[in-house]
Structure 1
Amino acid sequence: MIALNSPLKPDLKKLQFYLEKINQNGWFTNFGPLHDELTEKLQDYLGVKNLLLVSNGTIALQLAGRALGVDNIVTTPFSFVATTSAFHWQKDTLSFADIDRQSYNLCPNAVSRALDQDPTLDAIVATHVYGNPCDVEGFESLSKKRNVKVIYDACHTFGVNVGDQSVLNYGDASTLSFHATKVFHTVEGGAVIFKDQQHFEKAKHMINFGIAPGKGIEETGINGKLNEYQAAVGLVNLERMDTVLKHRSELFSQYIAGLKDVVELPTWHSQANYNGAYMPIKLKNSQQAEKLISKLADSQIQSRAYFSPALDTVFTECKNHGTPNTDAVTDGILCLPLHVDMTAEDTDKVIGKITESGVL
């Protein structure tokens, strides 16, 4: 079986070292020493500041919105469900704008039209889909011109740069998921990277029940902290990240070379590197995609229609500013196996089975 995904497995000997430290310290959660060590090492590795570890990627999105003080959001219908449900759960007002047909990312021009239709919008939530950066320059210009905040769901972009800096440095906040399925993980967990330190400090109080040390309750808060055991897994996995990212990006490039003349592929940001988070392909329609999924399954190869369905068809009570490109991409999207345990030979096999399938 060539699995669709296989989580990065932490080195047990190295993990044991950290677990013993936790027991010796007797400090299991509440901003412990391993939490702080992981924060510092991630900031250094990713080239960011104001990184706040949290308990999961959904909390990261909710926290970003609350720390920035926004609650009327235009977002993408082409993303994982949490991109919308995180805000919908806390009763924010949501609407959908269309994606760019080539990149599959939220389109600044479509968002601009949505802002024209609803001037009360105060935030844009855009996903860097499959690790492919959005038009960050376009959104930065739009943010300044229209006085709206920008939050990036950056859960697919660990280790991705635009030019000479991390894509996480764009926007007012960028969120990461450290779920076990991600390139880098802490089993469960996540982070928010804030542009401004004041928002970082506000958010840090919020995930500690709104309590500021020595000052008491300053915010209406929640419990959203990353514990020491999760931090231990993160510290062990971070040691392997250079090797993991290199391997995954090589498999991604191998897929691109083998499939670029066979199926439609999203157009990548011209200044961005690959991290091999996902391997998306676009077929003519969902019927063709289903046939290919079945053919690959016959050869013990897993694949998945991801993302499908489009979120505007799930959250139908949210306003829709028009999403024809989303409809077109969702009708036929498919993700192929890509993970750290795959080999170049596995990738060649998947490419071969697709080209020989008789489905295309």
Structure 2
Amino acid sequence: MITVTKTFFPPIEEYHKQTQRIWDNKWLTNNGELCKELTSKLKSYLGVEQMILMTNGTLPIQIALNAFGNEGEVITTPFSYVATTSAIVWEKCTPVFVDIHPDYLTIDETKIEAAITEKTSAILATHVYGNPCDVEAIERIAKKHNLKVIYDAAHSFGVTYKGKSMFNYGDVSTSSFHATKLFHTGEGGALFCNDEALFHQMHFRHNFGHDGKIDFHGVGINAKMSELQAAMGLCVLPYMGQIISNRKRICDYYDKHLNFEKLQSLKIRPETQWNYAYYPIFFESEDKLLEVERILNDNAILPRRYFCPSLNTLTYLNREDKCPVSESIALRVICLPLYFGLEDKELRKIVELVNKVV
């Protein structure tokens, strides 16, 4: 079976070595030694000043929305995983969908201002497949209208734009360290922000509003990463160079051998150092996509329709926002298998089957 992705497992003896430290310390959670070490190493690796490790990648979004949303309208993208929209609704805010750029698939910055009302409190945008949003344009709009900017940067580990980590953009950026991600802690995530006062606010919100001593700074939730998660992150991080180079090899193979007379590939925004997190391809029609998917499935290959449907069409949201570009792309895009250890013979099989159909 060739799945769309597979978790990278470091050597088990390395994980045993890290977990032995936990047993020796008798400390499982509450910002223990391993969490502190992982925070320090990630800050150095990513080139960021402030970050908070969390137990998954959704809670950082919810915490930021809880701080900024004020139960108002949040302008967002319809082309993302459902967690982006669910977090908005969960925090009793209203998602207002703006269509996406036809090339980069990120929120179309030229359509944001038209969606702003007196109820708008924030912009929540996704760096789709690790492709950066137009962060400069979004920042100008946000400052003009006094709005906060949250980036769902779950796909952006290791991505830089104009030489700067994607986690350094926006009032808050968030990431997922889920088992399927480029870098992972099994489950996990992080919140990033540059402003020191805001960092303090985000930090107490992820720990019940508590500073760990006797002071409480306001309402909070439990989003702390455990030492067991941090142990996995410490084992995975040293392999990031190999992981990214291996994934680049796979993407280069697809680029060279797929029939792009009948397909489209992802267009990366200029001045971006990409991380090879996903390999989406775009078909002329949903019918052609379904035909390719069926042939691949029949050969024990499982790509993924990532993202489908366009989130503005979710019936339980009762939204009438029209996003024709996102709605069209969502029906025609599929992500091909991409993971550390995918072999050349498997790549050849995937490419031959796709090209045969298209």
Shorter-chain-normalised TM-score: which range? over 0.9
SS in 1 for 2:20: helix
Q: How does 1:223-234 map to 2 (within 5 A)?
A: 223-234=222-233
Task: Name the amino acid aligned to 1:98.
Answer: D
| Partner residue, 1:155 | 154
Q: Which runs of 5+ in 2 are unaligned?
A: none
Hey, what's the Cα distance between the residues in 1 that align with 2:68 and 2:196? 12
User: Is 2:255 aligned against 1:256?
Assistant: yes
Question: Secondary structure at 1:354's aligned position in 2?
Answer: helix
Q: Residue type matched to 1:22 in 2?
A: I
Taking the aligned partners of 2:173 and 2:53, their CA distance within structure 1 comes to: 12
Partner of 1:97: 98
Cα-to-partner distance string for 1:179-206 (whole Å, 9 max, x where unaligned): 1011111111100111212111111111
TM-superposed CA distance for 1:274, in Å, is: 2.4
Change (3 A) 1:326 1:45: same
Q: In the alignment, is residue 78 of structure 1 matched against residue 79 of structure 2?
A: yes
Corresponding letter in the other structure for 1:229: L
Residue in 1 that maps onto 2:272: 272
The answer on whether the counterparts of 1:74 and 1:95 sit within 8 Å (CA) in structure 2 is: yes
For residue 290 of structure 2, what is the aligned residue in structure 1? 290
SS state at 1:249 partner: helix
Taking the aligned partners of 2:232 and 2:68, their CA distance within structure 1 comes to 30
2:302 match: secondary structure: coil
In the TM superposition, residue 310 of structure 1 has moved relative to its aligned partner by 1.2
Stretch of structure 1 that moved more, 95-104 or 64-73? 64-73
1:240 — aligned with what?
A: 239
Task: For residue 314 of structure 1, report the CA deviation from its aligned partner.
Answer: 1.2
Give the Cα–Cα distance (whole angstroms) in 2 for the partners of residues 12 and 317 of structure 1: 44
Q: CA deviation at 1:305?
A: 1.4
Check conservation: 2:312, 2:322, Cα contact below 8 A. Answer: no
Residue 307 of structure 1: aligned partner = 307
Secondary structure in structure 2 of the residue aligned to 1:175: strand
Amino acid at match of 1:306: Y
Stretches of structure 1 that go unaligned for 5 or more consecutive residues are: none
In 1: Cα distance, 2:236 partner to 2:297 partner? 31
2:25 is aligned to: 25
> Which segments of structure 1 move beyond 6 Å, counting only runs of 4 or more?
none
Deviations 1:128-159 (A, max 9, x none): 11111111122122222222111111001111
Report how far residue 16 of structure 1 moved: 0.8
Q: TM-score scaled to structure 1, two decimals? A: 0.95
**In 2, Cα distance between equivalents of 1:90 and 1:122:** 13
- Using the TM superposition, give the Cα deviation of residue 172 of structure 1 relative to its aligned residue in structure 2, in angstroms: 0.9
**RMSD over aligned Cα atoms:** 1.6
Structure 1 41/67 Cα, relative in aligned 2: closer, same or farther at 3 Å?
A: farther
Quote the offset at 1:211 in angstroms: 0.7
2:129 matches 1:130: yes
CA drift of 1:250 comes to: 2.4
* Cα separation, 1, equivalents of 2:84 and 2:246: 28
Equivalent residue for 1:37?
37
The residue that corresponds to 2:183 in the other structure is: 184
User: Identity over aligned residues, as a percent?
Assistant: 37
- Work out the CA distance in 1 between the residues paired with 2:118 and 2:351: 47
Letter in 1 for 2:89: H
Identify which range, 253-262 or 47-56, moves more after superposition.
253-262
Deviates more, 1:48-57 or 1:248-257: 248-257
Distance 1:68 1:10 in 2: 38
- Structure 1 window deviating more from structure 2 (294-303 vs 224-233): it is 294-303
In 2, are the aligned partners of 1:296 and 1:353 still within 8 Å (CA)? yes
TM-score normalised over the length of structure 2: 0.95
Is the CA contact 2:262–2:284 (under 8 Å) kept in the aligned structure 1?
no
- Deviation, structure 1 residue 320: 4.3
* Preserved contact between residue 96 and residue 320 of structure 1 (Cα < 8 Å): no
Residue type of the alignment partner of 2:224: K
Aligned CA distance change for structure 1 residues 60 and 92 (closer, same or farther; 3 Å): same
The residue type equivalent to 1:74 in the other structure is: I
Q: How many equivalent residue pairs? A: 356
The 3 A distance-change label for structure 1 pair 315 and 36 is farther
Counterpart for residue 192 of structure 2 = 193
Alignment CA distance shift 1:136-1:250 (3 Å): farther
User: CA–CA distance in 2 between the matches of 1:70 and 1:237?
Assistant: 38
The residue type paired with residue 147 of structure 1 is N
Residues 151 and 275 (structure 1), Cα distance of their counterparts in 2 relative to 1, 3 Å cut: same
Q: Judging changes above 3 Å, is the alpha-carbon distance between structure 1 residues 78 and 69 closer, same or farther for their aligned structure 2 residues?
A: closer
Contact 1:172–1:195 (Cα < 8 Å) also in 2: yes
Offset, 1:215: 4.3
